[in-house]
Structure 1
């Protein structure tokens, strides 16, 4: 699993308010933010090794976090590159098996979500996790979350991706130059093509149809994994989502979100 922790460094507003140099090290539920996703991954029996992509100035703080992880598997720190695509490729170097990719602020990542992504790979080159709007709003109704609209409904990204082999990372090449995989208009146009992008903008295709069109353009078998646990779409990006995650990181909330396992592919 690759955990993307690079970003704004010392300029992140949330990190500045909490007195930390790097966002991935801010405290959440009594532990550094990144510790939550790293522990979930380290305890998962299918995750053989971990790579953290982050700016070099955060290495020292991360050594302390890694020293407290369960003692199993291999963890390496890789200096983050200028964009996400190069960061993922660098973190995947020398690895020849399936890959999961997520972000350091995915503090509420569940075991069930990891299971769902792994289960999707035998029939696909790449998979991406989404949560339907009703599930997201049920989990945190007050948060203004961005949704991707299709004719069969609206879905939020869960910042969780999987590829069956490193060669399939060429799917991410289409988004080179953007900060987020799905947040760069030019990258979206190159990846999806003008006709497909227009159809999606008009909500004229279903989610499966849209993914099939994009897969054909990229030359890869691409599948969406729909998670009915709306909490999986929550990233700790600002004070509002920080407070939401803090509230959900109680023993009862943690058990319920780990147990949530209804998945549609």
Structure 2
């Protein structure tokens, strides 16, 4: 039994977490041209387009503000969007520290800038991840207790269960087909460079390059031939990158759906409407229960 004269240590206290939200145009935006959704709504950035009555980025900010472990928030965006994004922040109740960080030339540089003066665990996601859930954040936090780097995946059947026929870039392994869920974690900023390996646009070509960088040529060929398992690919990636890499398999298929274009915008808007109806019913049921016991 600890002596009452010795103050309790904070060793068992959960580590605070910084969530980095990538809200900028992204590398190569100037070459690709203006964002179609942003143009449609007359906004400079996709993160500012209205979705279900609020700017797109407001949905993820609310999830972050309500999560007890997210004590620090950094939003990477071009400087011209600082004022409108800050306006969204002022309307989002929360606690902890918030910083706007100028987006850099590449993803790793942006995350590195957002991790300045921070030495704890980091989660990285995108501003168009409007369906990000607290359960997904919890799963990533748990994974980082035994990993240097973690990234989220969802099986094809989980995504199809949410929205059949959704066009996703799946990675086919021997034990299933997986879609990336733009959510990445690292135990500390020293592993920031791994973000460039695991993150990228959801296209077949970009997915192939990510696999190549992570597992090398032999592993890449085994993946393409359907001979590699998820655990085998992770072991290869860990050896190649010199860090403990873990995949977090999320059972909620919505976590693989971002607002990337007109179609996914409509899908996410529909799913948010369903969530709102469910939440409303829960509030009504709780009210009825309280009334019954009053």
TM-score scaled by length of structure 1: 0.90
Is the contact made by 1:95 and 1:166 (CA closer than 8 Å) also made in structure 2?
A: yes
The 5-angstrom pairing of residues 117-136 of structure 1 reads: 117-136=140-159
Check the 8 A contact 1:20/1:26 in 2, yes or no: yes
After superposition, what is the alpha-carbon deviation per residue over 1:45-103, rounded to whole angstroms, capped at 9, x for unaligned?
00010000011111111111010111311110101011111111111111100000000
Q: Compared with structure 1, are the counterparts of its residues 180 and 229 closer, same or farther at alpha carbon in structure 2 (3 Å cutoff)?
A: closer
2 CA distance for matches of 1:175 and 1:121?
Answer: 16
Rounded to whole Å, the distance in 2 between the matches of 1:237 and 1:141 is: 17
> Does residue 215 of the first structure (1) align with residue 216 of the second (2)?
no
Tell me the CA shift for residue 191 of structure 1: 3.3
Whether the 8 Å CA contact 1:39–1:69 is kept in 2: the answer is yes
Contact 2:35–2:46 under 8 Å retained in 1: yes
Contact 1:126/1:220 (<8 A) preserved: yes
Note the C-alpha offset of 1:247. 0.7
2:29 aligned with 1:6 = no
TM-score, scaled relative to structure 2: 0.81
Aligned twin of 1:196: 219
Q: Which runs of no fewer than 5 residues in structure 1 stay unpaired?
A: 257-265
Alpha-carbon separation, structure 2, partners of 1:129 and 1:241: 19
Q: Which moved more, 1:189-198 or 1:218-227?
A: 189-198
**8 Å CA contact retained: 1:151, 1:206:** yes
1:262 maps to what in 2?
A: none
1:149–1:186 CA distance, 2 compared to 1 (3 A): closer
- Aligned residue in 1 for 2:5: none
5 Å matches for 1:1-265?
A: 1-7=19-25, 8=29, 11-172=34-195, 174=197, 183=206, 188-250=211-273, 251-252=276-277
SS, match of residue 77 in structure 1: strand
Change (3 A) 1:78 1:179: farther
User: Larger C-alpha radius of gyration, 1 or 2?
Assistant: 2
Q: For this pair of structures, how many residues does the alignment match? A: 255
Once the 2 structures are TM-superposed, how far is the Cα of residue 142 of structure 1 from its aligned partner?
3.0
Q: CA offsets, 1:95-123, max 9 Å, x none?
A: 10000000000000001000000011111
Structure 2's unaligned 5+ residue stretches are: 1-18, 282-294
CA RMSD of aligned residues (A): 2.2
For 2:161 and 2:197, the matched residues in 1 are separated by 33
Task: Kindly indicate whether the alpha-carbon contact (under 8 Å) linking 2:153 and 2:178 is maintained by their aligned counterparts in 1.
Answer: yes
8 Å contact 1:83–1:179 — kept in the other structure? no
Partner of 1:148: helix, strand, or coil? strand
The secondary structure found in structure 1 opposite 2:168 is coil
Query: Residues of 2 paired with 1:64 and 1:119: CA distance?
Result: 33
